[in-house]
Every structure is written in structure tokens, then in C-alpha cells.
A and B are shown apart, each in its own frame.
Chain A
Amino acid sequence: MSHHYLLPEISQPGKIGCSLPALDVPPTELPPKELLRQELELPEVSEVELVRYFTALSKLNYGVDTGFYPLGSCTMKYNPKWHEDIAKLPGFASIHPLQPEESVQGAMQLMFELQEYLAEITGMNATSLLPIAGAHGEFTGLLMVKAYHQDRGDRARKKILLTDSSHGTNPASAVMCGFEIGTVASDSEGNVDMKSLESAMNEEVAALTLTMPTALGLFDPQILEISRLVHERGGLFGADGANLNALLGRVKFGELGYDYVQLNLHKTFSTPHGGGGPGSGPVCVKEHLADFLPSPLVTKNNGRYNFVSPAKSIGRIANFCGNFGVMCKAYAYIRSLGAPGLKEVSENAVLNANYLKEKLKSYYYLPYDRICMHEVVFSGRRQKARGVRTVDIAKRLLDYGLHPPTVYFPLVVDEALMIEPTETESKQTLDAFVDAMKEIDRDVEENPEILHTAPHNTPIRRLDDVRAARNPDLRWHMRS
């Protein structure tokens, strides 16, 4: 039977998946009939059918544990299985957030130390672990920006500046926070255009959000000049920390002049993600923003850990303490690698990206031909000129059993292919990817049809993007 079937399609009245024990408590009346749902028809299947169904689905899954996953900007690195053991320790997994503080001191110690480690790694003074996703961390940072300016009596700053290569969440978070958006252009080298920043940075600007390295995978050498300009004109300087994997243990956001940075534990600190999380997006801040951090923080006094609320806190932004299980895994990652290990992470992440850059740049157009950081952005324009678009290349990679890179982002690169190999891939894996990309480039000339109609080896063939966007069919219908 094909894996396309759904459980209701093999349901038959009377098939039973389990045997319930005899009733050994007094029966209770059902609620009144009008409160009971009639239409809820649960499928009736046997236990083995249920197991086969979910096993078949699990075999369709693709993740870092299955193969190469160079999804730019997402840092899909291998997640050591040992982290799961740590997160499952009963002292971490079997506690409740409403337990008295004295009964969860170990968990609070982990949170306290993680706050400290992240502040150290980013060169900041204080950390909130509460945000439960990267964009949530951005939003939290911007709420603090707002509170900071209001606290100083400066109510004119209604705008957040972004660059034209920004992650999509940057404008979204700012607008959700009630700010207007101003855009700063990139120059021909992929750096911030200083003239554009100079003219945009005025007394209406609350902060500049700048990912470093930028979404082009490049380190902007003008960074100190940028932060000086923003501060001179009364703004704050915030980092989207999505690309921390390039800097880990080597460059600190605090030393680059940033006032705050949002991190993604689920990217840089190796906790499983994809398919919606769970994530964790801590925010690290300098001293002058620490009073505005969300509540609660963990502090340590005389060997005892306490939850506290900072003096001018923006308040609660998440249930209880955020995604604690993710914090356990990130903590395990930092403790197992230590400072030398974290340095090696960024070193190898940058090396791997540059290896791919050098191997592929004679086949795919490289708009910014300079040393890249943890990811490299190619343009598919040479292939496009010969009739094959980036989307065809991405779909064809699926036939090789490879996850495609991020495509059509950043928007400033035509037909973009944004490749982030991460540090956990071997040369052998990188070479296999290079071979696939070369073969695809050859097929642009020799066999373009195979690219236009790809993928061929996947359970579902090419999707109709237009129909999916205009007429999404999200409801299951019984096949007749």
C-alpha cells in the first residue's frame, strides 16, 4: 500500500487497536446529549496498522539525521544525541514551574549559568532566556528599545532601520512592536552603504537592527563606524544573532558596539529544530538595558538561586520560564565543547562555507567574491540565462537526496542560492554536494528538461506554488 493513504481510509467498523481493561470504577453519567459531538469519527484500525502507518510516515521524514541540510540562515547542524539524555534527567524533565524555588535549585542553577555563559559569549552584561523563538527574541529586544527611549523621555523615536538584506522577521518584529521601518541600502561590496545610513539615521530612529555577519554571509568591516554613527545620533544598535555560528568564541557583539543581541539556541547551540520548534531566542543586553529585561530572571545570592523581576522590566513575555528543555540542551552543548570547542565550531563553519564557495564559484555566479563567513550566497543567473531557474536547481537537489539551500533570499541577490553547510559536515559530504551541483549545471546544457520537471524521486512531485498560495486545501477529504 502506498504511503499516501490516511488512517480514515483504512478504517473499518469493529477493528480495534487495543483492549481496555474491565471497568473497575463506578460508571458516571455522560454530559447531556446536546453537548456531545456527533461528527467526530475517529478511525478504527488495528494496532499493527497504526504502527505501520506512522512508521511509513517517519520514513518520509528528512532531517539532519538523514542527510545534508545546507539551509542558509538556519544553521542546521548535527544535534548530539547526548543532549537529549541531559534534558531527560528527572531533575530537569519531571519538575513543574510552580514548584517552590528551593525544590528546583538545580534547574535554576542551569538557567543562571546559561544566562552567564551567553552574556560572556556575546560580550554583554545580562541575559533573558525567556523568548521562545528567534523572532520572539527580536520582538523582546525591540520592546526594550521602546521602553529605554520612553524612560529617557524621548518619544520621537518611532522608526527602526534595517538593511536591504535583512531577514524577513526583522521588519515583521518591528511592525508588531508598533515601529515604522526605514531601509538602509547595501553597497556594491555587500556592506552597509555608509552614505545611505548617514542620511537615514536621524532623531526619529530608535534603533538599527543589523545581522552580523549579514544575510549575505559577509562580515562588514565598517561595523565600529556604524555603531559609532548610530550612537552619536541617539539610537540603539541591535543584532539579529541568527548568524552567531560564524563568530562563536571569536568575536563578541558587545565589543562590536551592539547594545543588545537576540540569539537562537536552536541554531547556534545545537538544539533540534525545524517543523516549528521548539525554539529558544534569548536576549543579551548591555548594562544600560538590563533594567528593562523581561521577568523573571534568575539571580544568585549566598549560594541560593532566586527568580527576580528587573526594576523597569517590560514584564512577562512567555509562560513561566520559556522553553526550559531547549535550555538544557544548549547548556549541555556549551559545557561539553568548552571555550576551545566553541572556537573550533565557528572556525570549521567558516572553513566549510569557503570550501563550497571556492569549489562552486566557477559554475555558479558569486555576486560578492570575497572571503565569506559561515554561509555563501550564489546567484543562479548564469543558469537562468540558459533557461533554468534557481527553483529548478533546488528541486533537482531533492533527487540527489540532499536538502536544497535557502533560495530567493536575500532579496538583493537575483535568483539567490544561500548555502550554509555548518561545521558538522565532513569533506566527503561537502564534495558530494559539490558533485551534485556541478552535474546540475551540466544538465542545464545537456538535459534541461530533467531540471524543469524535477523532483523525480520524491513521494510527491513538483508542487504547484501558485495554486498552493491561492487555493490552499488544508482539509482532509475522504477519497471516494
Chain B
Amino acid sequence: MTPEEYKYTPEHEWICPESKNKGKVGLADYAQSQLGDVVFLDLPAPATQVEQGKKMGEVESVKAVSDIFAPVSGQVLEINQTVIDEPALVNKDPYGAGWLVRLELSKPSELDALMDSDKYDEFVAELSENESEQAGG
């Protein structure tokens, strides 16, 4: 699947649905560009139960530490050991080698509440617009 077929959260996580109610989760390009160079990842151990919209881990960049939220509820099947060892992959290849965890979805219908790629692009465009000159007071 390509990022165009992923689903997105307003917190800039993506999930790539796979067969048998499984899915890979990662951070969107906008998130990594805001974070700057990622230096550490704290991901939930395999078998951990996560809940949609609840914190499931942390990402630390040279600028700040931010929470990672679960895009859907389910159980962690595996974590990407490569990205733990080389967090820069989140910056270099956020939709590919920089994936974070694979989940087994307990409520697949939750996917419907997420944004598709077009909607997410609009969402990011709006955010960037809000950041332009007229934002704030």
C-alpha cells in the first residue's frame, strides 16, 4: 500500500491496514518535520493493549518529547526494532522503513473514524495556513 491508501489521525499518526485486521502504524511526514531530528522512541512492548486516541508511546527529538497516540484500539504484535536503533528513519522514511509498531485491531470499525489521505492533506494544508501571517491575536 502507498501512503495514499493509509488512514490518518489528527495527531499525525498513520495506520496502514493489512489483511486479517492487522495494521502497521507510524508518524506522518508533517509530524517528523515539526519534530525535527528524532533521537529516541519509546514504544509499547508486544502484547500491550492500546486504546484508540490514548497515549501508547513517546517520541523524543532534539527539540522536545511528544506523545504518540494509538490510531485504533488493539494489541501490539511487534515493534520495529530497526527504528528503535536508528530513530532517524522516522525523518528519512516516515511512511516506509520508519514505521513504529504492528497492531492487531480489536475494533476494526474504528478505522472509519480516521481521515483518508485526501482529507488528511486538506487538514495539514489548513494547519499550515493557520500558521501563516494571520494566525494568533
Q: Identify which of residues 163-191 in chain A touch chain B, using a CB-to-CB cut-off of 8 Å.
A: 188-190
Contact with A along B15-50 (1 / 0, CB 8 A): 000000000000000000010110110000000000
Report the bound CA distance from A470 to B40 in whole Å: 8
Given contacts A466-B88, A469-B40, A469-B62, contact A188 B34 (CB under 8 A): no
Residues of the A chain whose Cβ atoms lie less than 8 Å from the Cβ of B137: 188-190, 367-370
Instruction: Count residues of A near B (Cβ-Cβ below 8 Å).
Output: 19
Report the bound CA distance from A408 to B133 in whole Å: 19
B64 engages A365 (CB within 8 Å):
no
Report the bound CA distance from A370 to B62 in whole Å: 30
A381 close to B (CB within 8 Å)? yes
B136 engages A368 (CB within 8 Å):
yes
Closest CB in chain A relative to B84 CB, distance in Å:
11
B112 close to A (CB within 8 Å)? no
Given contacts A381-B131, A466-B88, contact A369 B136 (CB under 8 A): yes
B136 engages A414 (CB within 8 Å):
no
| Chain B CB within 10 A, most for which of A189, A367, A369, A469 | A469
A365 engages B133 (CB within 8 Å):
yes
Q: Is the interface of A mostly helix, strand, loop or mixed?
A: loop
Report the bound CA distance from A367 to B37 in whole Å: 24
Contact with B along A460-480 (1 / 0, CB 8 A): 000001100110000000000
Residue from B36, B40, B136 in contact with A188 in the complex, judged by beta carbons closer than 8 Å:
B136
Report the bound CA distance from A388 to B117 in whole Å: 28
Report the bound CA distance from A370 to B137 in whole Å: 8
Q: Identify which of residues 377-400 in chain A touch chain B, using a CB-to-CB cut-off of 8 Å.
A: 381, 389, 391
Residues of the B chain whose Cβ atoms lie less than 8 Å from the Cβ of A200: none
Q: Is the interface of B mostly helix, strand, loop or mixed?
A: loop
Report the bound CA distance from A136 to B53 in whole Å: 34
Residues of the A chain whose Cβ atoms lie less than 8 Å from the Cβ of B63: 408
A466 engages B62 (CB within 8 Å):
yes
A104 close to B (CB within 8 Å)? no
Contact with A along B123-137 (1 / 0, CB 8 A): 000000001110111
Report the bound CA distance from A369 to B131 in whole Å: 14
A411 engages B62 (CB within 8 Å):
no
Q: B91 — nearest CB in chain A belongs to which residue?
A: A466
Contact with A along B55-91 (1 / 0, CB 8 A): 0000010111000000000000000000000011000
Report the bound CA distance from A293 to B26 in whole Å: 48
Q: A466 — nearest CB in chain B belongs to which residue?
A: B37
Q: B60 — nearest CB in chain A belongs to which residue?
A: A469
Closest CB in chain B relative to A126 CB, distance in Å:
36
Contact with B along A79-116 (1 / 0, CB 8 A): 00000000000000000000000000000000000000
Report the bound CA distance from A359 to B3 in whole Å: 44
Q: Would you mind naming 18 contact pairs between A and B with Cβ atoms under 8 Å apart?
A: A188-B137, A190-B137, A365-B133, A366-B136, A367-B137, A408-B64, A411-B64, A414-B34, A414-B131, A465-B37, A465-B39, A466-B39, A469-B40, A469-B60, A469-B62, A470-B39, A470-B40, A470-B87
Given contacts A188-B136, A368-B137, 16 further A-B contacts (CB under 8 A): A188-B137, A189-B136, A189-B137, A190-B136, A366-B136, A367-B135, A367-B136, A368-B136, A369-B137, A370-B137, A381-B132, A465-B62, A466-B37, A466-B88, A469-B60, A470-B39
The interface of chain A, by Cβ under 8 A from chain B, is: 188-190, 365-370, 381, 389, 391, 408, 411, 414, 465-466, 469-470
